Amino acid sequence: MASLADASPSIALGALDGRYRTAVAPLVDHLSEAALNRERVRVEVEWLIHLTTGQVVPNVRSLTADEQTRLRAVVEDFGPGDVAELAEIERETVHDVKAIEYYLKRRLSTMAGKTMAGTQATGLAAISELIHFACTSEDINNLSYALMVKGAVEQVWLPRATALVDAVADMARDLRDVPLLARTHGQPATPTTMGKELAVIAYRLRRQLARIGRAEYLGKLNGATGTYGAHVAAVPEADWPAISKAFVESLGLQWNPLTTQIESHDWQAELYSDMARFNRILHNLCTDVWTYISMGYFAQVRGQGTVGSSTMPHKVNPIRFENAEANLEVSNALLDVLASTLVQSRMQRDLTDSSMQRNIGTAFGHSLLAIDNAGRGLAGLDAVPAAMAADLEANWEVLGEPIQSAMRSLGAQGVEGMENPYERLKELTRGRRITGDDLREFVSGLGLPPHVERRFLEMTPQTYIGLAPQLVDYLG
């Protein structure tokens, strides 16, 4: 048997890089191993520019504007060839961040070789030793991961999630007035509207998006154990905390002044917990809509060219929602373990976070895939108000609640004949179905004030929806 492992091009081991690649491809620019190396290059380049521009090290010239542009172009032009070159260097160093340092020294050497003035070339050679100056690997890594995650959230995940929630909100507005038999504990309950029920989910999801949108992305650059030991030993007169703060903030991150060798990752745990909560609420939407489809409240009318069942031609399976559920569960398993483990480290540092953080892209990918599937599933639905109305018509007993509530109010006001309202409605409705005629006959015999009696004789399960339509307007 031929070995699939030897196939060229390589066959993906995981579904995200195989079957579902198209849906999650935008994350590759942010959360792949290649993206990690590109951001490491970015941090090293910006640190070199920051040191020289700020004249932090005495008697070291600033890079010229052209040199800075050419160095930053190394980051912007980072591609497959650079990935391969770094892999080659790392086979020698057996250290990923040290490979970045040597890679950049090669680039600076090339720049020096192209410089016309010999004195400037000599200066570049000396400046190359400021690449990775006073840094531990985690100074580079923590900033790189913060930039990667920030980019993935703000440029990919959050826009996709926001578009999905906006679609749910639009559905809620469209269906704000469509009556729906509510079910609490799976049993017929006080009617609502389909719009109001979808609005509840949209409102919940929006709260989580707001939290994620306010996420803090922390970073540090303070040396091997967070003490600036090497920095002070090399250049004692510099204000290293101020230099570090300015540098971290120049990257668009929030400075963390107190760390061990690693940035503590608390911000990551907070973000992943919020994302997991969003996922769980979205999972709730998927299971509810799946159930509504099974009850006939929604028809899957679009995309009918697909095959629903391999053997039953009439079926259109709600696979988008089922696929979303599964991927949300995988994403949450990863987000939960990331959030719980990244906040822990033995003493000043252990390496568990290094392996753990390499799963961030997978966690995001399964969430993004679920968002894509849920959105496509919702886009293929049409509401069936007639099916919702039929269920309401079959459950007149739900009007027992408003009638007994009115009787309680009237009894408290001194109206005679309103005794034991709950018990009387319970005897009428519990354990059996009643018709509209049954209920109207019961209401007519209660001795209600004429205006109250008229209200309940005219009420139907379809009209007993309270303020449900108006509540949808809280979505804005």
- Three-state DSSP at 175 gives coil
- Cα four-point dihedral sign 113, 116, 120, 122: positive
Q: Give the strand pairing for 254-255 and 218-219.
A: parallel
Q: Which two tokens stand for residue 48?
A: 């070199």
The catalytic residue among 250, 294, 309, 444 is 309
| Distance (Å, whole) CA 350 – CA 10 | 33
H or E stretch including 304? none
Rounded (10°) CA dihedral 189, 190, 191, 192: -110
| Distance (Å, whole) CA 327 – CA 308 | 20
Q: Which of 467, 411, 436 is nearest to 190 (CA)?
A: 467
Inter-residue contact 395 to 182 (CB < 8 Å): no
Bridge partners of 298, per DSSP, are: 383
With residues binned 3-state (H G I as helix, E B as strand, rest as coil), the percentages for the chain, rounded to 5, are 65, 5, 30
Catalytic, 185? Answer yes
- Three-state DSSP at 182 gives strand
Q: Which two tokens stand for residue 380?
A: 């293929």
Any residues with CB less than 8 A from the CB of 90 and at least 6 apart, and which? 96, 99
Catalytic, 128? Answer no
Q: Give the strand pairing for 179-184 and 254-255.
A: unpaired
The catalytic residue among 3, 8, 185, 355 is 185
Inter-residue contact 220 to 142 (CB < 8 Å): yes
Q: Which two tokens stand for residue 234?
A: 């090399």
- Three-state DSSP at 192 gives strand
- Residue 254 has φ and ψ, to the nearest 5°, of -95, 130
Q: Output DSSP code: residue 64.
A: P
- Residue 445 has φ and ψ, to the nearest 5°, of -95, 5
Task: Give the type of residue at 187.
Answer: Q
| Distance (Å, whole) CA 319 – CA 266 | 36
Angle at 440 between CA 437 and CA 442, to 5 degrees: 110
Q: Could you list the active site residues?
A: 185, 309
